[in-house]
Amino acid sequence: MSDRPYVTLSCAMSIDGYLDTTGPERLLLSNAEDIDRVDQVRSENDAIMVGASTVRRDNPRLLIRSEERRAARAAAGLPLSPIKVTVTSRGDLDPDAAFLTTGDAQKIVYTPLARARRLDERLRGVATVVGLRERVTMSDLLRDLVTRRGVHRLMVEGGGTLLTQFLAEDLADELHLVIAPIFVGEARAPRVVTSGAFPWTASHRARLASTRQIGDVVLVRYALSDRFDPYHRGELVKNIRDTAPLEAR
């Protein structure tokens, strides 16, 4: 068994590389068709992860929306939606947040050991709190997910602080980057990544796996590891759909 799950990073950004604005409203970057694609990718993963700031700012439910996909998961003996995972060092998570209170699957909150007891008391009954050493690293977290929680496929949906760690530590297998046709233009808004030393540079470029127009946005898929699986079920389903008219001829 590998010491980490297969990791898919997924996010939507503006043309100028921002994940959000600094304003009070959540920024809508995606469109309905792309939101449905994300729902499909979610349904193919064992767990979905976001950072604690995203839980606080967006209050996402992170559930599978499509009835068919939920039914397919139920038929396969899976929870209707994947396990939800987050990480916090401050422990500032509201036990009533939709992330923690919705869905039938387990919610796991990683935090440094020193913070775990108090957070466990705060979130008792809504989440499993896991303390990991002095500082939570993504490699420790991934090892715990695969060895102790049975998570073999993890989808990481941001924000930028989290994406930065997976990328800089070379712990991701693929990146799904959606580019929306808008500009944010605010230097203080969250970017798709923060500063970091990334493995992909001018002399070591990431491998472009595919591009796809989805209405007014573009999905760019990068292969980031040798484990990259082009026949990931989501892509297979799409390919079968794309080739069906030809076969019918």
Which residues from 18-47 bind ligand NAP, rule CB under 6 A?
Answer: 19-20, 26, 29
Which residues from 193-212 bind ligand NAP, rule CB under 6 A?
Answer: none
> Which residue lies nearer to ligand NAP by CB, 77 or 193?
193
How far apart CA 180 and CA 31 sit, in angstroms, is 9
Determine which residue in the list 54, 73, 105, 144 makes contact with ligand NAP, applying CB under 6 A: 54
Torsion of CA 180, 160, 168, 38, to 10 degrees: -50
Beginning with the edge strand found earlier in the chain, give each strand of the sheet holding 207-214 in spatial order. Answer: 128-131, 107-111, 83-87, 47-49, 153-156, 6-14, 174-180, 217-223, 207-214
> Which residue lies nearer to ligand NAP by CB, 55 or 64?
55
Determine, following the binding rule CB under 6 A, whether residue 123 of this chain makes contact with ligand NAP.
no
Least separation in angstroms between residue 13's CB and ligand NAP is 6
Handedness of CA 43, 45, 50, 55 (dihedral sign): positive
Determine, following the binding rule CB under 6 A, whether residue 161 of this chain makes contact with ligand NAP.
yes
Least separation in angstroms between residue 231's CB and ligand NAP is 25
| Encoded tokens for 239 | 């390919």
Determine, following the binding rule CB under 6 A, whether residue 14 of this chain makes contact with ligand NAP.
no
Interacting span for ligand NAP (CB under 6 A) from 68-76, 99-107, 118-126, 161-169: 161-169
Determine which residue in the list 40, 57, 152, 229 makes contact with ligand NAP, applying CB under 6 A: 57
Q: Cβ(16)–Cβ(188) under 8 Å? A: no
Q: Cβ(149)–Cβ(83) under 8 Å? A: yes
Three-class SS state of 83 = strand
- DSSP structure class, residue 187: T
Residues 6+ apart with CB under 8 A from 203: none
Cis? peptide before 23, omega within 30° of 0: no
> Which residue lies nearer to ligand NAP by CB, 72 or 194?
194
How far apart CA 123 and CA 14 sit, in angstroms, is 35
> Which residue lies nearer to ligand NAP by CB, 24 or 125?
24
Determine, following the binding rule CB under 6 A, whether residue 133 of this chain makes contact with ligand NAP.
no
Determine which residue in the list 53, 99, 109, 224 makes contact with ligand NAP, applying CB under 6 A: 53
Which residues from 63-102 bind ligand NAP, rule CB under 6 A?
Answer: 87-90, 92
Look-up: residue for tokens 């049975």? 150
CB-closest chain residue to ligand NAP: 159
Determine, following the binding rule CB under 6 A, whether residue 136 of this chain makes contact with ligand NAP.
yes
Determine which residue in the list 9, 83, 109, 162 makes contact with ligand NAP, applying CB under 6 A: 162
Q: Cβ(212)–Cβ(234) under 8 Å? A: no
| Encoded tokens for 168 | 């800089």
Q: Give residues in contact with ligand NAP (CB under 6 A).
A: 11-12, 19-20, 26, 29, 50-54, 57-58, 87-90, 92, 136, 157-162, 165, 190
